[in-house]
Amino acid sequence: MRILFLTDIHANLEGMEACVASVADHDMIVNLGDIVGYGASPNEVSDRSRELCDIFVRGNHDKACTGLGGIDDFNPIAGMAAIWTQQTLTPENFEWLRALPQGPIELDHIWPEKSASSGQLKVQCVHGSPLDEDEYIIVMRDAYQPLLATEATITFFGHTHIQGGFCTHGEEWETLRPVYRTKRELESCDLTITPGAKYLINPGSAGQPRDGDWRAACALLDTSENRVTFYRVPYDVKKAQERIFSAKLPDRLALRLSEGR
């Protein structure tokens, strides 16, 4: 089974569509949350997510933009975007986003046949952390307790907008960062899943990367090969920026897209 993981699309239709088109050879799509917020296409991205994605977990912006969470912890620009999004969403998309489930979600419970075909590979999905859906896992000390506490082989998470992850195998602990040659074209980087190891894997943000690479990010899990492939995908940044300018959202939300920050 080939599962495409998207996260932190943040109402960037162009980034989402580029990922789905460029990694077309997949059996299903898992969405790790923050479908909306920041960007100017909340309804379009919600519609496409409902059409394309099979499994969801909610993100903190999905909650904030539908009244389930406050914006007190948001910076002023994020707060303004959340208010605009809440006012812009159709009633149908508002209710759909509001009903998104909280992680962790264990994929083995949904596709029990997958474990037998993938060597007992156990996969779970969260937005922030398996211990707290709003927790940021940025450095190894953040990953330490979640890795110790989980029984999953791989926990796919988002929230940080940083592609990569963390791994523990016995006494070894490792920070994982894909290495690419350029910041211009479609590129991929493979990670082989080591038997007995546990992983936290972030596909990277499809809509607002913050790791210094402007390209949209996603990841593909091939359960038959026990392999995760990270992707960086060029997309029409100018069009996404023009939507933000036209919506009269803060300019910074558009400018940062070309910076990957």
Instruction: Please write the tens of the pLDDT for every residue from 9-35.
Output: 999 999 999 999 999 899 999 999 999
Q: Considering its fold, how many domains does the chain have in total? A: 1
The conformation of residue 136, written as its DSSP 8-state character, comes to: -
The C-alpha atoms of residue 196 and residue 99 are separated, in whole angstroms, by: 35
Give the pLDDT score at 24: 85
- CA–CA dist 56, 33 (Å, integer): 7
Q: pLDDT tens digit string along 150-178?
A: 999 999 999 999 999 999 998 999 999 99
The pLDDT score that the predictor gives to residue 114 is 47
**pLDDT at residue 116 in the model:** 42
How much of the chain exceeds pLDDT 90, in percent? 91
* Domain of residue 95, CATH code: 3.60.21.10
**What pLDDT sits at residue 121?**
84
Assess whether pLDDT exceeds 50 at residue 259. Answer: yes
User: What is the Cα–Cα distance from 159 to 140, expressed in whole angstroms?
Assistant: 15
User: Are the C-beta atoms of residues 204 and 167 closer than 8 Å to each other?
Assistant: no
Q: Which domain holds residue 127?
A: 2-258
> According to the model, what pLDDT value does residue 117 have?
43
Confidence of residue 115 (pLDDT cuts 50, 70, 90): very low
- Cα distance between residue 137 and residue 133, in whole Å: 11
Q: For 102-114, how does the pLDDT look when each residue is reduced to its tens digit (9 = 90+)?
A: 999 998 755 545 4
pTM: 0.94
**Arithmetic mean of pLDDT, 177-197:** 95
